[in-house]
Structure 1
């Protein structure tokens, strides 16, 4: 099986990706029915093991829970480039479109009876092998009580998906958050848990700390990250609440555009959250 996983990965990525030993180990653990928790740096290839079982199984569905629409859309493109059928579920998705090898959604999508819930538990999928993966799993702890309450209920899926292995991936994690993830997803409660810790060091990532003033004044300090409003590189700003995101967007518009309406004064893609090629994503 290991050899076949290597061959299929090379074939599907046109020779660009030869799976690392740790990626193969996680995929093999998933195929063996084990729960997995992987800790690996951003850009190291955490999501590849999620879908590798679909490379070698004729009837397999990978259910991926991802926190942001941006991440969901990008993953669909990545998986389709590997020859997998993939879809991310939103309000417009029809149930017939859901029958893919990889299905990506928010936790609400999996728990909402009007979306995936009924299809997930339908007899039509009885002879398929199922795998559930939670990407950016730290949000179970950090967003659970505020940003998206549904994340607190992700572990509820285990009661209905008896025997289905769960996997979780995260780039950085404290011991407290790691334990919270294990508890919330009941990792290791029904089958063995395999933990892979690759650390989070990446030579192409620089960490720096800016001590903020605190309070509402802190939102204004985000403008210092963009000294030239006409040359803003693609940037992701992660916050813990919708309210914080609104404040930051308002301050950026005020500080970088003088409070003017963005589309009237700047290029179409400047601070426009509706465009796919956004220079600033929030």
Structure 2
């Protein structure tokens, strides 16, 4: 072949068709003739392949280069994924956020002969991600792609003109459908959508060239019932049913940045054929600096002022993404940050909040404004709708407010930071003080590192929902990057490499979180807490006692919620903050229902409804502990308690508490006869 055929073929469609069909010798010659092409390829990997496999990879690389006008050439991981699909294998691709998992999907579609009218189906978790992907496939790769979700037209004419018709030939049919998983199964009303009907039609099944599952960890995290909670999106868990429905020869390709061992095992068992290609590349993002930061409580809005430059400077203000798992708190944080701006900028869109209940028009405009280099929005406060797969080229700081539900969630959220180039970025988890007080021995044994301490009820509090993995993250004293690598079982050489000025906040290397924030960290309450810590440590309830008492209080609270005639939520009975305060009240101060109500800042109505029960619960708990202590004390003195003798208990401050029988009505006595000096009993 004397000339470079890439430039002889007159237009892109004909050039691609030639590249799909030309003999192996032409591919070899062409790959040598393109200037600089060989240097762009992973030659070590190519040389490991058989000759036929090498030709497949070279063909795919030239196709990719042609479509992108020389901009993109597949890397090793991408060629591995392409080769698996071209060989008809199932594959599971585990690679970090921003590693380019979209490219192999596109190239495999481009390798299909349009005359065969094949269709690729990609399952995508979010509408926002669907929209981004659709634009990418249509504009960058020229692949006719349609989004299928609840907003897709339902009329038969649209479907017959664009997707599939059994009675007429479609001139320009869809090559690629990006589908939300719910569309593939029956609705809550028991009906199939159009795409669900089609994938169950033998003729249409014959046109499906492959199934791609993007963010495939969602099969486990969203699709399965976990910890006594119903599946968040049960359709994800039904993907194994879809696999049984489709032709067994249809290859499935799973993609995610977060396949820890317990999730990997689940998707391998349910979604992969016994022989599949496992393609693994580190999920480490070396440009991200990791940190955790303790705040007094999530609801204290002053904790978030550090994300706004002060005084405000639009040029110096970085793009910041703040994840919050509570819609109300999302709005409050956004409103607070907006109030930190100069009056003339307030309400102008510099700060915006984002969650799925908002109109699609607002969501689209907000996302576009935030990612645009010339956009107004600099800080986006959002729920999880922006945490998976969505590309943010310009986010300098990502913060998750509160402990993440899993390390999968944490890594997905952190992965939104700086997706282009090697500029360093920060991912920080804001957490409350109680996260340092929960111990690992409170968790039952299990394979799932994201398990909570016990099964969760509908009204479970933050402390109850806290996963072991997040507690370990907050409490670990060694490298956070290494902790993440261990969670993912990432044993690659680059798993703990970093390119920024710091790795994380666990090394004694001068890292200071304040240096990476545009505003000042809120310190007042923490300073008070730290100052009073030494004073209060001796008078608050012991940690070992708090752990056991918390279990009793949670049990009481759940029973109370279940028994409430008007279904009052748990936080109105005893909020997370109030429970934490209650657990810290020492025995000597919990002398009556009114004392408990006063300590918690509750009113008379609350006292009448709940304080009496709480007082007796705590009293009995304290009596049991003090009885044991008294027995030990008497045993040391050689005076064991006699059978049938009322057992008084010795407190740590030299007083004895009476039994509940002798205690009487403390509220009405008006005196404190509860304690007597030990010396009186000698």
- Give the TM-score taking structure 2 as reference length: 0.36
Task: Say whether residues 1:277 and 2:368 are aligned partners.
Answer: yes
1:172 is aligned to 258
Quote how far apart the aligned CAs of 1:147 are. Answer: 2.9
1:199 is aligned to 282
Extract unaligned runs of 5+ from structure 1: none
Quote how far apart the aligned CAs of 1:236 are. Answer: 6.8
1:110 is aligned to 184
Deviations 1:207-258 (A, max 9, x none): 41324559x7378588356234864626373x7xxxx241442232243135
Deviations 1:148-178 (A, max 9, x none): 1211112211011122111111113211111
Equivalenced residues, count = 268
Distance 1:219 1:140 in 2: 35
1:49-198 matched pairs, under 5 angstroms: 49-58=104-113, 59-80=117-138, 81-94=140-153, 95-96=159-160, 97-98=162-163, 99-112=173-186, 113-125=192-204, 127-144=206-223, 145=225, 146-163=231-248, 164-185=250-271, 187-189=272-274, 192-198=275-281
Distance 1:115 1:234 in 2: 40
1:266 is aligned to 347
Deviations 1:4-60 (A, max 9, x none): 211111111111110113212211211222111111111111121123221111233
Q: Is residue 212–residue 218 contact of structure 1 (8 Å, CA) maintained in 2?
A: no
Aligned partner of residue 67 in structure 1, secondary structure: coil
Q: Find the structure with the greater CA-based Rg.
A: 2
Extract unaligned runs of 5+ from structure 2: 1-55, 154-158, 164-172, 187-191, 226-230, 355-361, 371-379, 384-682
Q: Is residue 295–residue 303 contact of structure 2 (8 Å, CA) maintained in 1?
A: no
1:235 is aligned to 321
2:85 is aligned to 30
**Cα pair distance change 1:153/1:248, threshold 3 Å:** farther
**Cα pair distance change 1:111/1:74, threshold 3 Å:** same
1:249 is aligned to 330
Distance 2:203 2:281 in 1: 38
- Give the TM-score taking structure 1 as reference length: 0.82
Quote how far apart the aligned CAs of 1:111 are. Answer: 1.9
Aligned partner of residue 100 in structure 1, secondary structure: coil
Q: Is residue 64–residue 105 contact of structure 1 (8 Å, CA) maintained in 2?
A: yes
2:520 is aligned to none
Deviations 1:126-165 (A, max 9, x none): 5524211111112222222443121111221101112211
Distance 2:182 2:212 in 1: 15
**Cα pair distance change 1:159/1:277, threshold 3 Å:** same
Deviations 1:75-104 (A, max 9, x none): 111111201011111223233444521111
Aligned partner of residue 210 in structure 1, secondary structure: strand
**Cα pair distance change 1:232/1:87, threshold 3 Å:** farther
Q: Is residue 199–residue 205 contact of structure 2 (8 Å, CA) maintained in 1?
A: no
Distance 2:276 2:303 in 1: 41
Distance 1:222 1:123 in 2: 57
**Cα pair distance change 1:41/1:248, threshold 3 Å:** farther
Q: Is residue 39–residue 173 contact of structure 1 (8 Å, CA) maintained in 2?
A: yes
Q: Which has the higher contact order (CA 8 A, sep 6+)?
A: 1
Aligned partner of residue 267 in structure 1, secondary structure: coil
2:38 is aligned to none
Task: Say whether residues 1:13 and 2:55 are aligned partners.
Answer: no
Q: Is residue 223–residue 256 contact of structure 1 (8 Å, CA) maintained in 2?
A: yes
Q: Is residue 51–residue 62 contact of structure 1 (8 Å, CA) maintained in 2?
A: no
Higher helix share: 2
Please tell me the root mean square deviation across aligned C-alpha atoms, in Å.
Answer: 2.8
Distance 2:241 2:118 in 1: 21
Distance 1:188 1:219 in 2: 50
Aligned partner of residue 257 in structure 1, secondary structure: helix
Aligned partner of residue 235 in structure 1, secondary structure: strand
